[in-house]
Amino acid sequence: MASKSTEAAVTFTNAAGVCQQLAGCHCQQPGALHCQLSDSAELRAVTGRLPTLPDITLVDLVLRDLSTLPGGLFSDASLQALLLSGSRVQSLPADLLTGLETSLRALGLGENQLVDVPTAALTGLTSLERLDLSGNQLRQVKAGALPALGSLAELNLAENELSKLDVDAFTTLIALRTLWLEGNRLNVTQLSNGALRPLVSLERLSLDHNLLAGPLTFQLTSALPADLTTLSLADNNLTSISSGALTPLAALTSLDLSGNRIDVIDARAFAGLSRLRTLRLDGNHIVTLPAGGLSGLKALTELDLSRNSLQALTEDVLTPLPALRRLLLRNNDLIQLDGQLLRALPALKKVDIAENSLHCDCRLRELATYLSDSSAWLEDEDVRQITCATPTALENAPLVALASRPDSAQPCETLESTDPTDLQVALRSVDLSAGEQYQFCVTLRQLLSGVELPLPSAYECDTYVHQRLVDLKDIVSTEICQLETQWGYTQWRHAYHSS
């Protein structure tokens, strides 16, 4: 008796022989028929042979130049997967899929020119689990356009021209778990109408590259399915994340906000996301993170902040992340980073801070020591790519070398000698401690030590590129001078003088 594997080989050989007889077709994989067809005659010739090929369960037809499709093509076939792509077809005949109602599990209609959801052709496909309508010309999903497809788990509507989803557009898709909507023209107002809310089983939603603009708010997220675990809003024009904006999505484990224009993240912006494991904020305009801005993310294992304009990270930003394993900070404007902040993250296995503006003075020795001590678990390539930007003598030098050669780091000078008579204090490098959001503070008690201050007067804080007037009375009472974070104050000479 022949074995099952032998029988399968014979069957495949027979099918391959038939494939060779069909123009434009090949059978390189068992059970799959792939064809590139140019006219209706070739199409009918191929589909007419399907009843004689019962072991073919997947048919992939690229329909070049066809603008119409005849009905009843698959009435005698038994297929599990059917792909029809590459045509100029704008609509489908109602009986196109007759005969596949109970067998078809995957249907690909991508890369055609459909202008409406082919409702009639889809009706009755009770076993359909995956439907691909991407790359067409759909502008709207109307109520009732998607028939009751009780088994449908994945729907791809990406790369269309969708600008409107009717409120009842998806009410029939009770089993849908994944929805792709990237590359359309959907805006915040449209999505806030609640059209997606009835998708009670939805777990994964992609809204990348749409017209989402302005702040990410509770209004939008509360209109999304509450049980989402994966949400991607990448490559839009979101500008900020409001406090409590994501609380309706407590089940999220992955959130992608990369490639937006976010420059403001409110405190408690991620409140309620205790299950979140991956957070992507790369490719935005973030300069600073507020104290406690990431609090509540106790399960977070990966944080990507690369390709922003970050100038500093403080202890109260990272310490609420006990499970963090991957911290990506590549291509920011970091001048300093305290190694103690990284030591406070016991689970950390990868840290990427390459392509920053690290100023290798004594304050980076702790970071260099951390990198050296952590070589057993940090990736070698990550450590080697972390180099000094300044001073000139250490440009492009590996930061980790400072751990073994501490004398190579630039000294941390605090004050130059100054003549009190001209009321000027100059410095080349000064320790900056975190102050109010978007600001650094330098204590004037340190800066103006030994200088008699005439009252009343005004003092001016300046650099080569920035000036800010500060009233002397306010300086004395608060003992701080506010400096804007967008300037690298540890790199330039500063002067504080009376005006």
Q: Under DSSP, is residue 434 helix (H, G, I), strand (E, B) or coil?
A: strand
**pLDDT at residue 60 tops 50:** yes
- What is the spatial distance between Cα 439 and Cα 435, in angstroms, rounded to a whole number? 6
Confidence of residue 418 (pLDDT cuts 50, 70, 90): very low
Between the alpha carbon of residue 425 and those of residues 50, 286, 463, 475, the distances in Å are 88, 32, 13, 15
Provide, rounded to the nearest whole percent, the portion of the chain with pLDDT above 90: 58
CB-neighbour burial class of residue 37 (10 A; exposed 0-12, middle 13-18, buried 19+):
buried
- What is the spatial distance between Cα 382 and Cα 301, in angstroms, rounded to a whole number? 18
CB-neighbour burial class of residue 32 (10 A; exposed 0-12, middle 13-18, buried 19+):
middle
**pLDDT at residue 331 tops 80:** yes
Contacts of 382 (CB under 8 A, 6+ apart): 350, 351, 352, 354
Residue indicated by tokens 């994989």: 29
Confidence of residue 23 (pLDDT cuts 50, 70, 90): confident
Average pLDDT, the chain: 80
CA dihedral 157, 159, 163, 169 (to 10 degrees): 0
Q: Would you tell me how many other CB atoms lie within 10 Å of the CB of residue 8? A: 14
Confidence of residue 369 (pLDDT cuts 50, 70, 90): confident
The 237-241 sheet, strands edge to edge:
213-216, 237-241, 264-265
Enumerate the β-bridge partners of residue 164.
140
Q: Indicate the residue type of 359.
A: H
Q: Which two structure tokens, joined as six digits, stand for 440? A: 């650094």
Q: Indicate the residue type of 85.
A: S
* Strand boundaries in 223-309, DSSP class E: 230-232, 237-241, 254-256, 264-265, 278-280, 302-304
Measure CA 101 to chain center.
38
**pLDDT at residue 145 tops 50:** yes
- Read off the pLDDT of each residue in 51-79 and give the average, rounded to a whole number: 91
Full-model pTM: 0.79
Q: Would you tell me how many other CB atoms lie within 10 Å of the CB of residue 265? A: 24
pLDDT tens digits for range 92-139: 999 999 999 999 999 999 999 999 999 999 999 999 999 999 999 999
Between the alpha carbon of residue 455 and those of residues 388, 449, 472, 473, 478, the distances in Å are 43, 16, 8, 8, 16
Instruction: Name the residue among 59, 19, 66, 60 with its Cα closest to residue 38.
Output: 66
Residue indicated by tokens 């990284």: 342
**pLDDT at residue 154 tops 70:** yes
Write down all domains in the chain, each with its CATH number in brackets.
216-357 (3.80.10.10), 420-498 (no CATH)
**pLDDT at residue 174 tops 70:** yes
- Read off the pLDDT of each residue in 338-353 and give the average, rounded to a whole number: 91
- What is the spatial distance between Cα 386 and Cα 356, in angstroms, rounded to a whole number? 8
How many CA atoms within 13 Å lie on the side-chain side of 251? Answer: 14
Q: Higher-confidence residue: 488 or 341?
A: 341
**pLDDT at residue 281 tops 60:** yes
- What is the spatial distance between Cα 469 and Cα 460, in angstroms, rounded to a whole number? 5
pLDDT on residue 404: 67
The 424-427 sheet, strands edge to edge:
424-427, 494-498, 458-462, 467-471
pLDDT on residue 371: 86
